[in-house]
Structure 1
Amino acid sequence: MSVVVDSHAVQPRWQTVTGSVMSGLIVAFLLFDGAIKLVPIAPVTETLTALGYSADPALARSLGIITLACALLYALPRTSVLGAILLTGLLGGAIATHLRVGSPVFSHLLFGVYLGLIAWGGLYLRYEAVRKMIPFRL
C-alpha cells in the first residue's frame, strides 16, 4: 500500500509509518528532556555541574526552553526541517561538551549523533523534499 504525500509523490506506507515513528520518538524524548530541565530536578543540576557548567536553575531552565522550542518546531510539519537544523546545533553542543569532559564514547559522546540520525532519518523517510536535498545514490 502507498501513501500520497503531496501531489507529486507516492511513497510506500511503511516508509511514512517508519519515519513518523522515528520522528515521534525524537519529539517524545525532547519533550521529556526539556520538561525535566524546566523543573529542574536535582539530577539535572548535578549533571550540569559534572559537565563543567553552573548548577544555576536558570541555566537548566534556559536549556529546557531551547529544547522544547526545538521539539515544537520539529513536530510541526511546516517547520520540521528548521527544527531539525536547530536540533542538530543543540546536539552538536552536547557532543562537544561530552568530548571536552571525556565522557564514554558510545553511551554519552555519540548519543547526540544517534538522536540526530533518528531525527533526520525520520524526516528523510517522510518527506520527498528532504530526500532531494540529501540524495543517497548507490
Structure 2
Amino acid sequence: MKLAGWIIIALFALFMLGASVAPKLLRLEAARAPLEQIGYPVKYLLLIGIMELVFTLLALYPRTALLGGILMTGLLGGAIASQLRAEMPVYSHTLFGVYLGALMWLGICLRSPALLAIATGRGQ
C-alpha cells in the first residue's frame, strides 16, 4: 500500500508541477487566460503558483504531508468556488479540484497507516 501511495502522490505532484505550477511561475498564456476567464487579476498568478508549489512539496514529504494536504485542500476549495462563481462546466472544470484532492488524499493516506486508519474509521 505504501508503494501505491508513493506512486499516486508522485503522479499528483508531477501533474501539479508540470500543468499548474510551472505555467504560473513562468507566466505563460496557458496560466493567464484561465485566471482572467474566471475574473481574477493576473497579478495573483505568481502568488498562486508559489502556494501550489509549497503545498505540493509539503504533501510530498511524509512528515509534512498532513499539513500540505490540508493547505492544498483549502487552495483547491478556493479554485472550486471560483469555478462555480464563473459558471464554468461542472464535470470538466468545477469538479476538477475534487478529483485532484481525492487523488492527493489517497496518496497521502496510503503512505501513512495511521492516517489511513483514521480516514477509514478504524483509528483510535
Q: TM-score, normalised by structure 1?
A: 0.82
- C-alpha distance in structure 2 between counterparts of 1:105 and 1:46, whole Å: 19
Fraction of identical pairs, as percent: 41
Range with greater deviation from structure 2 (44-53 or 90-99): 44-53
- C-alpha distance in structure 2 between counterparts of 1:88 and 1:37, whole Å: 19
Please name the residue that 1:17 is paired with: 3
- C-alpha distance in structure 1 between counterparts of 2:22 and 2:30, whole Å: 13
Q: TM-score, normalised by structure 2?
A: 0.91
Structure (1 or 2) with the larger CA radius of gyration = 1
The secondary structure found in structure 1 opposite 2:40 is coil
1:68 maps to 2:53 = yes
Structure having the larger proportion of residues in helix:
2
Please name the residue that 1:50 is paired with: 37
The number of residue pairs the alignment matches comes to: 121
- Aligned with residue 79 of structure 1, among 64, 73, 83: 64
Consecutive unaligned residues in structure 2, runs of 5 or more: none
Structure having the larger proportion of residues in strand:
1
1:21-75, Cα deviation, whole Å (9 max, x unpaired): 110011112212112101100121111110101123xx11111100000011111
- Offset at residue 19 of structure 1 (A): 1.1
- Aligned with residue 126 of structure 1, among 108, 111, 121: 111
Code of the residue aligned with 2:23 in structure 1: it is I
1:37 maps to 2:24 = yes
Given that 2:69 and 2:105 are in contact with CA atoms closer than 8 Å, whether structure 1 keeps it comes out as yes
Structure scoring higher RCO (CA < 8 A, sep ≥ 6) equals 2
- Give the RMSD, CA atoms, in angstroms: 1.3
Q: How does 1:105-124 map to 2 (within 5 A)?
A: 105-124=90-109
Please name the residue that 1:11 is paired with: none
- Offset at residue 133 of structure 1 (A): 2.2
Consecutive unaligned residues in structure 1, runs of 5 or more: 1-14
Given that 2:23 and 2:30 are in contact with CA atoms closer than 8 Å, whether structure 1 keeps it comes out as no
Which runs of 4 or more aligned residues in structure 1 lie more than 3 Å from their structure 2 counterparts after TM superposition?
none
